[in-house]
Chains A and B, each alone.
Chain A
């Protein structure tokens, strides 16, 4: 299996899907050179900076049988198109009684920890997950990224693909051939028995590091703690059963989400665990949310580092749950 960066794996997924189905076309203010060269300007479309119209063009052309991919580039810019998502893309199939499907992929990165300050540092995925009628995927590595983006392109519904900028350069092995990862299936990144950590996007990495540290600690009361780390990979539809099953096994849940806590995916995951009787009875400690402080993200490194979740805060939350 070749090693690919996250960014390269996603571009490969795009090219493969455009090759496979000529109804797929791509819109971006900056289409990648590879797509332009292979598919030409008709299918790798260079857009003016008009996010709302780019998004509406996707809705209109999808209703006519095409399978558009809109690359907003940054979730920050996607808000310029929010009407076309909130009032059109996610409702149009339903409000017209299912007359047509609207197969659209919205791609967007989000940036945190990049010293980009408030407007360019936010996750945004909870806003999209909240809307009935969209699927939302959030891969945390190259293999999942490629497999999920390919599945999204073949899905007959609007799917928003969130791509954490911090993992763009991360390399991993990506299976060759037609590698698909199903939408709606979580990935258990590390098995464990004492606590369940559900980590979103880039947060998978500090969560795995925290789990490794806790397993290795040799001199304190928490020695040998066995932490299970789950990457949901899809936010809508959420793989509720994998998460609940893990919590029934471990009795403890820590959710790590680099978003402000109010109405976050962390809150949603806590709720789907708490509202299930059998899983709730299995809880041996209160659910812990490790989130970003409820502030716009500041620029200066000590300020940004203070508000974002990190390995130390994740480790402390796991310890707190164990000490309860």
Chain B
């Protein structure tokens, strides 16, 4: 059965500051992406990660460059936490040649294979088999690298979720399954979609640990992921982490903000537990950072993001006929 993971009370200042910096960078990147999309400066659809930052950051802080992650449609946070360059991410949102995918992917298909980010993915649940493939690759390579698959609660309704958990456990693949349970798949509440009360409870059927984590507490996520990653590196097999969280914005955004149909009391309850605000308060309370230092971190992030937008806008659009490149190797 699932167990509750709790974060350590004490934490190392350097790590904590970096966790905060990454969470704020992700928050501000996506707030900017929403703003740019509403202003029609970028295109298509954006799935904001706002509110879920503690999960990508807390998990990826346990990973090396040679570990691999697979993301989903809400992927900007995973990219940043795994070490992708926000300038090339932004250029991709702008559809420019210097974007990670040379303008062919956009928000839903950012990848940076060089940092082990094997791609965002627009199909719910489709990343799990790919994660299992990355896990098998790590196992066949014979080192102690791991693969991490990020997915939402909605993915638990897909067959490949169950197939992939089964195979990963059967073969003891070095995989950490990270379910970001934000309680709503689109506008469907999880209790209308999943028979088991908790996603983590499903782990028992696949003979792996299932762990429930407060997904808005970056230290709790960090600690639970540390245990799961160590288990994977030790060839003991996969773990299912269920990180309970909340997205602050709508599921997907084009050029308009839609009314939020989720219950007002739930919205208020979760937004009072904002992962960044609560972590900042803890850091101040512990004397790790003061308000001025936090303002400096935020200021430096604004400069980086301004630079990213400038980089993106300075990058040319691809020539139209480049649409015909990259289908096949050579």
The digit string for B58-71, where 1 denotes a CB below 8 A from any CB of A, is 00000000001010
* Residues of chain B lying within 8 A (CB to CB) of residue A59: 129-130, 133
A83–B129 alpha-carbon span in the complex (Å): 11
| One of B117-125, B275-283, B296-304 contacting the partner | B117-125
Contact B329 A93 (CB under 8 A): yes
* Residues of chain B lying within 8 A (CB to CB) of residue A68: 133
A25–B171 alpha-carbon span in the complex (Å): 15
Contact B111 A53 (CB under 8 A): no
Contact B328 A157 (CB under 8 A): yes
Contact A60 B105 (CB under 8 A): no
Q: How many chain A residues touch the partner (CB < 8 A)?
A: 42
* Residues of chain A lying within 8 A (CB to CB) of residue B68: 64
Q: How many chain B residues touch the partner (CB < 8 A)?
A: 47
* Residues of chain A lying within 8 A (CB to CB) of residue B121: 88
Question: Closest residue of chain B to A88, judged by CB?
Answer: B126
Contact A87 B126 (CB under 8 A): yes
A42–B139 alpha-carbon span in the complex (Å): 10
The digit string for B98-135, where 1 denotes a CB below 8 A from any CB of A, is 01111111000101111000110111001011111111
Contact B327 A93 (CB under 8 A): yes
**Minimum C-beta distance from B131 to chain A (A):** 6
Instruction: Report the tally of A-B residue pairs with Cβ distances under 8 A.
Output: 140
Contact B128 A56 (CB under 8 A): yes
Contact B137 A61 (CB under 8 A): yes
> Could you tell me which residues of chain A, from 21 to 65, have a CB within 8 Å of some CB in chain B?
25, 42, 47-48, 50, 52-65
Between-chain CB contacts (< 8 Å), 13 pairs: A48-B163, A50-B163, A56-B126, A57-B167, A60-B118, A61-B134, A63-B113, A84-B126, A96-B104, A97-B101, A97-B326, A99-B111, A99-B112
> Which residues of B are in contact with A by a Cβ distance under 8 Å?
68, 70, 99-105, 109, 111-114, 118-119, 121-123, 126, 128-138, 140-141, 147, 159-160, 163-164, 166-167, 170, 325-330
Given contacts A63-B118, A97-B326, 13 further A-B contacts (CB under 8 A): A47-B167, A50-B163, A56-B130, A56-B133, A56-B160, A64-B118, A92-B119, A93-B326, A94-B104, A96-B105, A97-B101, A156-B329, A156-B330
